[in-house]
Amino acid sequence: MTGGNPGPVCAVREKFPGDAEALVALARGLGGAFDAAALARLARDVADHAGLVAERSGTHLGFATWATGDGAGSSELTCLAVADAHQRRGVGTVLCEALEERLRSRGVRSLEASLPAAWVIRPDLERARRFLLARGFREVRVDVGHWGPENDRLLLRRGL
């Protein structure tokens, strides 16, 4: 290989029902990024929502889940998670590109994502926010108390 190109970052495939336990474990291992309530929501999302899995040699590197929106051509990115050891290596980008292409082919025109508004004080959430902004998402609003008292949501949206 020339130019130091390491080749494909990973393969992306549809999420299978048998992936759920491993995907929740991957999220649990993200250094406290998910509290107990968020892990419970994540377990439901992994079970109920469509998803993609990034893997290499049978190892789960990350995943994305989404829910179909309001019928007006919108979907919601309900989770994007990449294992700590594989962050900042293009896995999240590959997952987003595959997800966006899939949604565009189905007529989806916009994608929303939500983060706890505590990104101001949590470096892991700030990295996620910067990643989404770099992918073309724009901050829409903060919904106070969306996930409960003192648990506000930052809503982001991008066109596809």
Read off the CATH number of the domain in which 105 is found: 3.40.630.30
pLDDT above 50: residue 14: yes
> What pLDDT is stored for residue 6 in this prediction?
44
Q: Is residue 31 part of a domain?
A: yes
> What pLDDT is stored for residue 19 in this prediction?
92
Q: Is residue 105 part of a domain?
A: yes
Q: Is residue 5 part of a domain?
A: no
Q: Is residue 113 part of a domain?
A: yes
Model confidence pLDDT, tens digit, residues 52-81: 999 999 899 999 999 986 667 889 999 999
Q: Is residue 4 part of a domain?
A: no
Report the interhelical angle of 20-28 vs 36-48 (nearest 10°): 150
> What pLDDT is stored for residue 93 in this prediction?
94
Q: Which domain holds residue 90?
A: 11-159
Q: Is residue 1 part of a domain?
A: no
Q: Is residue 2 part of a domain?
A: no
Mean pLDDT of 117-132: 80
pLDDT above 90: residue 31: no
Q: Is residue 3 part of a domain?
A: no
Q: Which of 72, 117, 75, 119 is nearest to 96 (CA)?
A: 75
CA-CA distances (angstroms) from residue 55 to 7, 14, 15, 83, 150? 14, 11, 11, 11, 36
**8 band by pLDDT with thresholds 50, 70 and 90:** low
Number of structural domains in the chain: 1
